């Protein structure tokens, strides 16, 4: 069963499908540094480093290239301006990333597509954006008489045994009729639970990163013995782990962090902290999942990312653990790129569940 991954990032969504035996034939990523991480971890995949607009218009994809298309077009620019005109939504330049995702699905015509996006897409512009996306994928005329039956659900990563409260919208389209989506969802959960009884267990920050010791300048550390079921699930046989890189904080920032206890944030500091984030200078608690890992997890003012007992923010390896990346998955590039790769990724444990769900939709 072949897969195409659009807007692939470092490959979190691909990874879950690979773990389930799918063959990712092609992946598309605009950022060459991020694409490099994908390529080094998945050298067998044909990685296309280009703007999806160029790929869509080049005739690169053909009907039947894949059974499944996965990916989430970034939605920051979504607009409904002009949508009252026939297909105006697709012609608005702010919607071009979605337009080209749609066009690739229309061209390849997979049996299933999986589209991941922010939870807020459902309420953007009073829900009009979301309704328009659903309308387009189920439009008989635009899709040449072969529309998709659509199912969607907001999922929280913590429900999939990921130590993180990360909510995302999942939209699944299939050419198959009469899919009992809720029934297949429950069936998938039972199948995985039967095979891996601890898969959906509640996981805390300590369960995830408690065995990782001090960071190093080059990020290379001895591979610690896994102590929890979650650590065992992600563990590697390598003698060394990578990306456990030291973050350098200024003296004043360290002094601030020293005043913040578990679960507290900037409000305990007797100073005016200028940050738009309500969790600024927040310290994680050992016995809870983390909040959403973002592309600012190395910045104390960027959210609740201070280590539970150390006066520093999370290392990339710790953030990757909280995102459920295996320990042998290595991130490459400059620090800012690595943080972006991890923060934007789909947790592979969520992705694996979605792959198993697609199995059941396709009766595979």
Residue 22 in any domain: the answer is: yes
| Beta-carbon contacts of residue 176 (< 8 Å; ≥ 6 apart) | 111, 149, 361, 362
Q: How confident is the model at residue 83 (pLDDT cuts 50, 70, 90)?
A: low
pLDDT digits (tens, 9 = 90+) for 158-179: 999 999 999 999 999 999 988 9
* Count of alpha carbons within 13 angstroms of residue 32, beta-carbon side: 0
**Mean pLDDT, range 19-34, rounded to an integer:** 97
Minimum mean pLDDT among 86-95, 210-219, 224-233, 310-319: which range? 86-95
- Residue 338 token pair: 């690595």
Tallying the residues shown for the chain, one arrives at 364
**Mean pLDDT, range 325-334, rounded to an integer:** 98
Minimum mean pLDDT among 77-86, 119-128, 162-171, 324-333: which range? 77-86
Residue 332 in any domain: the answer is: no
Q: How confident is the model at residue 95 (pLDDT cuts 50, 70, 90)?
A: confident
**What residue has token string 């969504």?**
13
**Mean pLDDT, range 5-22, rounded to an integer:** 97
Q: Which residue has the higher pLDDT, 270 or 214?
A: 214
The range of the structural domain enclosing residue 172 comes to 2-199+348-361
Residue 109 in any domain: the answer is: yes
How do the residues of the chain divide into helix, strand and coil, expressed in percent and rounded to 5?
35, 15, 50
Please, what is the average pLDDT of the chain?
Answer: 93
Contact yes or no for 305/229 (Cβ under 8 A): no
Q: How confident is the model at residue 80 (pLDDT cuts 50, 70, 90)?
A: confident
Strands 149-156 and 112-118: unpaired
Core vs surface per residue 268-290: b (16+ CB within 10 A) or e: ebeeeeeeebebbbbbbbeebbb
The CA dihedral of 283, 201, 344, 182, to the nearest 10 degrees, is -140
- Is the pLDDT at 223 greater than 70? The verdict is yes
**What residue has token string 């034939």?**
25
State the pLDDT at residue 84: 60
From 30, 13, 111, 98, select the one nearest 65 (Cα to Cα).
111
Q: DSSP state, 127? A: G
- Residue 190 token pair: 């039972």
State the pLDDT at residue 82: 61
Residue 218 in any domain: the answer is: no
- Residue 71 token pair: 């990916």
State the pLDDT at residue 61: 93
Residue 282 in any domain: the answer is: no
Give me the CATH number covering residue 180: 3.40.50.150
Q: How confident is the model at residue 86 (pLDDT cuts 50, 70, 90)?
A: low
The CA dihedral of 77, 35, 205, 213, to the nearest 10 degrees, is -140
Minimum mean pLDDT among 93-102, 207-216, 284-293, 312-321: which range? 93-102
Q: How confident is the model at residue 124 (pLDDT cuts 50, 70, 90)?
A: confident
Residue 273 in any domain: the answer is: no
Residue 9 in any domain: the answer is: yes
- How far apart CA 191 and CA 357 sit, in angstroms, is 10
Count of domains forming the chain: 1
4, 75, 108, 320: which one is catalytic? 75
CA 103: distance to chain centroid?
A: 22
- How far apart CA 364 and CA 360 sit, in angstroms, is 6
Q: How confident is the model at residue 273 (pLDDT cuts 50, 70, 90)?
A: confident
Residue 297 in any domain: the answer is: no
**Mean pLDDT, range 338-356, rounded to an integer:** 97
**Cβ count within 10 A of residue 120:** 13
pLDDT digits (tens, 9 = 90+) for 127-147: 888 998 999 999 998 898 889
Q: For the chain, how long is the longest CA-to-CA vector?
A: 64
Q: How confident is the model at residue 364 (pLDDT cuts 50, 70, 90)?
A: confident
State the pLDDT at residue 89: 80
- How far apart CA 352 and CA 14 sit, in angstroms, is 9
Q: Is 89 a catalytic residue?
A: no
């Amino acid at each position: 069963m072949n897969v195409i991954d659009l807007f692939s990032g470092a490959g979190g969504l691909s990874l879950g499908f690979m773990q389930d035996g799918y063959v990712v034939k092609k992946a598309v990523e605009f950022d060459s540094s991020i694409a490099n991480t994908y390529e080094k971890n998945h050298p067998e995949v044909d990685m296309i480093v280009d703007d999806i607009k160029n790929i869509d218009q080049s005739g690169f994809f053909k009907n039947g290239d894949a059974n499944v298309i996965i990916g989430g077009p970034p939605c920051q620019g979504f607009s409904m301006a002009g949508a009252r005109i026939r297909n105006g939504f697709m012609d608005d330049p702010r919607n071009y990333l979605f337009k080209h995702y749609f066009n690739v699905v229309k061209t390849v015509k997979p049996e299933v597509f999986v589209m991941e996006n922010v939870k807020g897409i459902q309420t953007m512009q009073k829900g009009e954006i979301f309704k328009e996306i659903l309308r387009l994928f189920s439009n008989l005329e635009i899709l040449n008489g072969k529309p998709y039956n659509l199912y969607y659900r907001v999922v929280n990563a913590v429900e999939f045994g990921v130590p993180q409260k990360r909510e995302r919208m999942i939209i699944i389209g299939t050419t198959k009729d009469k899919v009992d989506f809720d029934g297949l969802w429950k069936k998938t959960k039972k199948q995985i639970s039967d095979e891996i009884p601890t898969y959906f267990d509640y996981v805390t920050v300590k369960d995830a990163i408690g065995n990782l010791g001090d960071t190093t300048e080059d990020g290379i550390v001895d591979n610690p013995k896994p102590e929890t079921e979650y650590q065992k699930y992600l563990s590697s046989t390598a003698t060394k782990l990578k990306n456990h890189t030291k973050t350098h904080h200024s003296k004043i920032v360290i002094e601030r962090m020293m005043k913040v206890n578990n679960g507290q944030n900037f409000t305990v500091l007797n100073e005016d902290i200028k940050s738009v984030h309500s969790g600024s200078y927040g310290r994680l608690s050992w016995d809870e999942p983390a909040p959403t890992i973002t592309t600012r997890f190395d910045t104390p003012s960027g959210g609740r990312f201070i280590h539970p007992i150390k006066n520093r923010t999370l290392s990339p390896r710790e953030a990757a653990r909280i995102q459920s990346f295996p320990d042998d998955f290595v991130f490459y590039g400059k620090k800012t790129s690595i943080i972006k790769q991890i923060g934007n990724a789909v947790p592979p444990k969520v992705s694996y569940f979605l792959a198993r769900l697609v199995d059941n939709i396709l009766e595979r």
